[in-house]
Structure 1
Amino acid sequence: MEYISISQAAEKWGITPRRIQVLCKQDRIPGAARIGYVWAIPKDAEKPSDARVKSGKYIKNTMEDAGNAD
């Protein structure tokens, strides 16, 4: 299997190298492996979908909400 670096994947997918590091750490890129301090990403890996909240609607779990759950 051939691997590419984070910077190569960033250029290929059009996102920042830091974002790819986060995706690797979250196990969102199948087959990505950490070799020492470097991530190795399979050459044929596809860009993961963006799972971040885009609607602006965040679910907050506050202490007040927990008290009203009776």
Structure 2
Amino acid sequence: MNYVTTIEMSEIWGISARRIALLCEQGRIAGVVKKGKTWLIPEDAEKPADKRKNDSIEL
């Protein structure tokens, strides 16, 4: 299995590396491994849904 860093994944997903690190800490990305201070994320990991957005609200 190939792994990428938070910086590499931020370019793929279009969000900041810090946000990805927070998602790793919260256990919201499957298969992550922490090696020293670096999070290693599987290349084929799916981007978790953003819980901060609520699309079901009708105005």
The normalised TM-score by structure 2 is 0.86
SS in 1 for 2:22: helix
RMSD: 1.3
Give, in whole Å, the separation in 1 of the partners of 2:44 and 2:9.
10
* Residue 26 of structure 1, CA deviation: 0.2
Total equivalences in the alignment: 55
Higher relative contact order (CA 8 A, sep 6+): 2
Structure 1: 5+ residue runs without aligned partners? 56-70
Which is greater in Rg? 1
The normalised TM-score by structure 1 is 0.73
Percent of residue pairs bearing the same amino acid type:
47
Superposed structure 1 runs of 4+ greater than 3 Å apart:
none
Structure 2: 5+ residue runs without aligned partners? none
